[in-house]
Amino acid sequence: MQLRHLLIALVVPLTWGFGFALAKAGLDHFPPLLLMSMRFAIAAAILVWLVPVPRGHWWSLTIITLVSATLQYGMTFSGLARIDATPAVLLVQSEVIFGTLMAAVILKERPTLRQLVGTSVSLAGIVMIVGAPSLAGQMTGVVLVLSGCLCWAFGQILVRRLGDALSGFQLTAWIGMLAAPQMFIASILFEGDPWPALQAAPASAWITVAYLGIVMTVIGYSAW
Asked if residue 86 belongs to a domain, the reply is yes
Asked if residue 150 belongs to a domain, the reply is yes
pLDDT of the residue at 208: 95
Q: Average pLDDT over the chain, rounded to whole? A: 87
Q: How many CB atoms lie within 10 A of CB 45?
A: 16
Q: Which domain holds residue 142?
A: 15-223
Number of domains present in the structure of the chain: 1
Is the overall model pTM greater than 0.85, yes or no? Answer: yes
pLDDT of the residue at 2: 65
Q: How many CB atoms lie within 10 A of CB 81?
A: 18
Position 135 pLDDT exceeds 90: no
Asked if residue 10 belongs to a domain, the reply is no
pLDDT of the residue at 1: 54
Q: How far, in Å, CA of 154 to CA of 67, rounded?
A: 7
Asked if residue 102 belongs to a domain, the reply is yes
Asked if residue 2 belongs to a domain, the reply is no
Lowest model confidence (mean pLDDT) among 5-19, 88-102, 157-171, 206-220: 5-19
Q: What mean pLDDT do residues 37-53 have?
A: 94
Asked if residue 134 belongs to a domain, the reply is yes
Asked if residue 4 belongs to a domain, the reply is no
Asked if residue 162 belongs to a domain, the reply is yes
